[in-house]
Homo-oligomer: A and B are copies of this chain.
Amino acid sequence: MQAEERQSKIESYLQKAEFATLEELAQALGASVSTIRRDVAALEEKGAARRTHGGARLLQAPKSDEYVFNVRDTHQVAEKEAIGAACAALVRPGQNVIIDAGTTCFHVAKRLDDKVAQIITNSLPVANLFSGSNRHEVHLSGGTIYPRLGTLVGPHAVETFSRMHADVAILSGSGISGEGIYNSHALLVDIQRAMIAGAAQVVFCIDHTKFGRRSTFFLCDFADVDVVVTDALAPADLVQELRGKGIEVVVAPPLP
């Protein structure tokens, strides 16, 4: 195996795990501890990881903070809370909703309260949020847990959504441009497409930092989208452009 390939595998291992011992990495990649040590040193040099005694740790939050489920480390909390409140206000009492994984959608879930009775999600944090409540019926998709993010992924998850239907689907993405909406995780794209197909109304919650950005995977174009909820800092020209395409754009006012 090439050194570069190994290093990129170490990176993605750390993306998932946050920490890893050299021993662990050596075993996972089939290389010696010495080699891994050198690789980790190179990654540190490059600024991609930090060396610790006995291992390595992720230096910075993974490239898309969107799916990291640690509220402490999240950015744009105020904006996301505002978006959460505005988006929850769009939901009419009694509707059943699909809620995507990710911090932005989690903030919507927090604001839903007793408005909705049925919730369908692939997010462990959302499931935990409602798990104690007997006023909600929560359907959790099956699937494999993506570590650290608490998101259920894989074919089971896709299948669940392709067989369920809801009045509203609340989703998020990691980029939005004139062409459509993007996401940075390949595993999530299939799931989100199934969510979109299964919902009568599709709402995307996207904070201003994602505007004008295209990330790795194209998710859908605007024909599939009914509403976009964003915050007050979203660029006015792009908002205007979206409205021109017939999308309802809700700009969430900052919360007091």
Chain A positions near chain B (C-beta within 8 angstroms): 1-5, 8, 13, 16-21, 24, 52-55, 57, 63, 65-72, 106, 110, 124-125, 127-128, 130-135, 137-145, 147-148, 150, 152, 154, 156, 160
Contacts and interface: CB of A to CB of B under 8 A. Distances in A.
- Mostly helix, strand, loop or mixed at chain A's interface? mixed
B144 A139 contact: yes
Given A2-B55, A4-B52, A55-B2, A140 B128 contact: no
A125 B70 CA distance: 14
Given A124-B124, A139-B145, A142-B143, 14 more contacts: A2-B55, A4-B52, A5-B55, A13-B134, A16-B134, A20-B134, A24-B135, A63-B72, A69-B128, A132-B147, A137-B144, A139-B142, A139-B143, A140-B152
A134 to B, nearest CB: 3
17 contacts: A2-B21, A2-B53, A3-B54, A5-B19, A8-B18, A18-B134, A65-B125, A67-B69, A124-B128, A127-B145, A131-B147, A131-B148, A133-B147, A138-B144, A139-B156, A140-B145, A142-B143
